[in-house]
Homo-oligomer: A and B are copies of this chain.
């Protein structure tokens, strides 16, 4: 079996540029470090404080869900989401759709929805960025089914080809719902990926951020029994109090978070410890990891 695995690795290595495969050398022999061990050994400057201007709080009865927005990839959508939050567009809103192994989606609870006052309903799609404007891309060495290169841009899972870079629909990533028209989304309805990552959505919807706390809340709502997992009745709605920008919340009520920088040595150690995971339970290192199998560490800032 090991021989066969090695062979598979060689076959797949042929798909990778030498610089990519050699970017991350194998770890030393013996057990690989655990994620808590990697975090404990990390340096303070390997963490990035999450900006309150790019942080959304969604407070449910059973806890706070926190989203980090991605203004670099979706500047117009993020600006609109800030405006919608500040005008109270989502006050007393609800999760209205939970489609198993796909998405949890939320918006206003009222039907028909109140139109935005300051924000807007529709924006031009922000699916990709020109590769030339994304100067830092922390590439992963292993093959991906959907893209020729995958990795992270400042903590967000991403992919790129020779022309463009885009955020990927990995577990926990947040996007803007739209109608058939690609320019019909704007952030008034948002969704988060809750199952096997549906990467076929990449470059077909605007990804606006990632959940950095509370995925265990977003993923455990009862699944909707209507078309596409929409709840059939308002009684099924899962209500949240509001969606507030952290910057608009009194400092004492904020949850201050920091995320491990994906360009740090500790993150590289973490990725490699997952690729070659070996411990008392995992006895056969695979030597590979999928983009969407990596959760970038986030912790409360000291």
Which of B144, B182, B216 is within 8 Å of A100, CB to CB?
Answer: B216
Contacts A144-B145, A171-B196, A195-B219; is A4 near B161 (CB within 8 Å)?
A: yes
CB distance from A124 to the nearest CB of B (A): 14
Bitwise interface map of A from 280 to 291 toward B, beta carbon under 8 Å scored 1, else 0: 111110101110
Which of B7, B164, B202, B215 is within 8 Å of A162, CB to CB?
Answer: B7
A148 within 8 A of B: yes
Q: How far is the CA of A203 from the CA of B288 in the complex (A)?
A: 14
CB distance from A271 to the nearest CB of B (A): 12
Which of B144, B148, B197 is within 8 Å of A196, CB to CB?
Answer: B197
Q: How far is the CA of A11 from the CA of B145 in the complex (A)?
A: 11
A8 within 8 A of B: yes
The copy count of this chain in the complex is 2
Which of B143, B161, B199 is within 8 Å of A15, CB to CB?
Answer: B143
Bitwise interface map of A from 12 to 48 toward B, beta carbon under 8 Å scored 1, else 0: 1011000000000000000000000000000000000
Which of B15, B127, B223 is within 8 Å of A11, CB to CB?
Answer: B15
Residue on B nearest A163 in the bound complex, by CB? B4
CB-CB under 8 A from A145, the residues of chain B are 142-145, 288-290
A92 within 8 A of B: no
CB distance from A209 to the nearest CB of B (A): 17
Bitwise interface map of A from 253 to 294 toward B, beta carbon under 8 Å scored 1, else 0: 000000000000000000000100100111110101110110
CB-CB under 8 A from A180, the residues of chain B are 280-281
Query: When the two chains form their complex, are residues A148 and B283 in contact, meaning their CB atoms are under 8 A apart?
Result: no
Residue on B nearest A221 in the bound complex, by CB? B220
A:163-202 near B, CB below 8 Å: 163-164, 170-172, 180, 182, 194-200, 202
| A and B contact pairs by CB, cutoff 8 A, 24 listed | A1-B127, A1-B161, A1-B163, A3-B163, A4-B161, A4-B164, A7-B162, A8-B161, A12-B15, A12-B148, A101-B171, A101-B219, A142-B145, A143-B143, A145-B145, A145-B288, A146-B286, A180-B280, A194-B195, A195-B195, A198-B293, A203-B284, A216-B223, A219-B219
